[in-house]
Amino acid sequence: MQVDASSLLGNVDKKVTISIAAIDWCPQICHQDIDKGYVVELVEEVFKGTQYQLNIEIYPWSRAIKLVTEGKADALLSPAKAEAPQLLFPKNSVGKQQMCFFTEKSSDWIYSGIESLTGQLIGVAKDASIEELNEYAELNPQQFQYQPYHERYIIQNAHKLDKKRFDTFLFTKNSTIYELKKLNEWHKYRLAGCVSQAKIYLAFSPIKSTNKDIKKLINIFDQKMVELNKTPFINELMEKYGLLDKLNE
């Protein structure tokens, strides 16, 4: 049975704050830019007109996951399910990510499957899911250099390529290209193949809160997403950030 979101909203005059842990991850979450990022704008639209107001705080990725897991924050923007399987996930995603390999411009190496990783030393963000390569990374730890994800992660890894610290690094396609173009550095690097896409979510803490009904929050989120998908809002939002992919295809 479909529930009208308006019946879930409660007293909109009595505001309840949802604390959200997130990372600086443009164009999804843009902490210091004029535009907030498409994921932030989408989530704000979802809870617009409800009793809930959002308080988004930026952390390193591993710490953000830990805070939500321990119930010190209510929700996390915006993990793939494999990155934080202990959290509670709505049915509807807030987008998708694709992990890709990046190398120096002069490199001719291309990722074409697990067999192509032989002999490669790879940089990767700690606690990030690399999808079908997760098991390979566990079995071949000597090929991977892990570092925490923070606001300078992408440029630091690009500069590690310059210094031959590793052969390639693996991170989300949209964010890496966006950040390196913003810094006028993209011309020095290249995309060298990608792994499979994964949906990303507003995921909620499994720890029961004294003043928030997480199940109700998830129901509101899913119902409002159904309603938004019937409007041009989401497609227009994606186009605003130069992302032509449909959100939930």
- pLDDT of 209: 73
Buried b (16+ CB within 10 A) or exposed e, 62-72: bbbbbbbbeee
- pLDDT of 150: 87
pLDDT-based confidence at 247, cuts 50/70/90? low
Distance CA 70, CA 74 (A): 9
- Tell me: the pLDDT tens digits for 8-38? 555 556 889 999 999 999 999 998 778 899 9
206 token code pair: 């499994």
pLDDT above 90: residue 151? no
Range of lowest pLDDT (40-44, 58-62, 239-243): 239-243
- Please give the radius of gyration of the chain, using alpha carbons only, rounded to the nearest integer: 19
Instruction: Find the length of the chain.
Output: 249
Domains of the chain: 5-96+200-240 (3.40.190.10), 97-197 (3.40.190.10)
Phi and psi torsions of 22, nearest 5°:
-145, 175
DSSP string, the chain: ----GGGG---TTS-EEEEEEE--BTTTB-SSSSS--HHHHHHHHHHTTSSEEEEEEE--HHHHHHHHHTTSSSEEEEEEGGG-TTSB--SS-SEEEEEEEEEETT------SGGGGTT--EEEETT---GGGHHHHHH-GGGEEEE---TTHHHHHHHHHHTTS-SEEEEEHHHHHHHHHHTT-GGGEEEEEEEEEEEEEEEE-SSPPSS--HHHHHHHHHHHHHHHTTSSHHHHHHHHTT--S-TT-
For the chain, the average pLDDT equals 91
DSSP string, 9-33: ---TTS-EEEEEEE--BTTTB-SSS
pLDDT above 70: residue 248? no
- pLDDT of 1: 39
What does pTM read for this prediction?
A: 0.86
- Tell me: the pLDDT tens digits for 153-202? 999 999 999 999 999 999 999 999 999 999 999 999 999 999 989 999 99
Mean pLDDT of 128-147: 95
| Pair 98, 197: CB distance under 8 Å | yes
Listed residue (235, 156, 179, 203) closest to 24, CA to CA: 179
pLDDT above 60: residue 232? yes
Distance CA 42, CA 234 (A): 7
Q: How far is CA 236 from CA 138, 188, 231, in A?
A: 40, 32, 10
